[in-house]
Amino acid sequence: MKRSLRFFFRYWLPVAAWAGLIFYLSSVPSLDSGLAETADWAFRKIAHVVVYAVLTFFVFRALRHGHSTQIKTALLGAGVFALLYAFSDEFHQRFTPGRHGRLHDVAVDAAGIIGVVLLQQKLLSQKRPLRH
């Protein structure tokens, strides 16, 4: 397999697949969890955080390892990409029957995005170069 094709499958296919999953879930008119109202609300908010944390991680990974982008640039790029995708997702939901695009959901998504950016920054700053 050509290097560019392997590169795509290894780094960008997870990004595309995860973004596709988000788009698909946003297209479902009702994602009823069957939980009590308060538990359902908490479940949905946690899902927002986790889904966008994973998207941010995948984009960071693709930028950092796939393109050898500097850490800070890759973190910023991943965060901006995921945040823009969160806005577009909520906009998309405005046109889906039974769904509502809400800005406060973007804020919840941003919690997952910021969490991954800060965690990655902390983890990568703790790595020490190998001594020869």
pLDDT in tens, 91-124: 999 999 988 889 999 999 999 999 999 999 999 8
Predicted model pTM: 0.88
Tokens of 17: 């697949």
> Where are the chain's structural domains?
3-124
What's the whole-number mean pLDDT along residues 45-72? 92
**23 contacts 89 by C-beta, under 8 angstroms:** yes
- 75, 104, 72: which is closest to 87 by C-alpha? 104
Tokens of 15: 């990004």
Question: What confidence score (pLDDT) does residue 66 get?
Answer: 74
Q: pLDDT grade, residue 128 (50/70/90)? A: low
SS3 58: helix
Question: What confidence score (pLDDT) does residue 130 get?
Answer: 47
- 107, 8, 11, 130: which is closest to 62 by C-alpha? 11
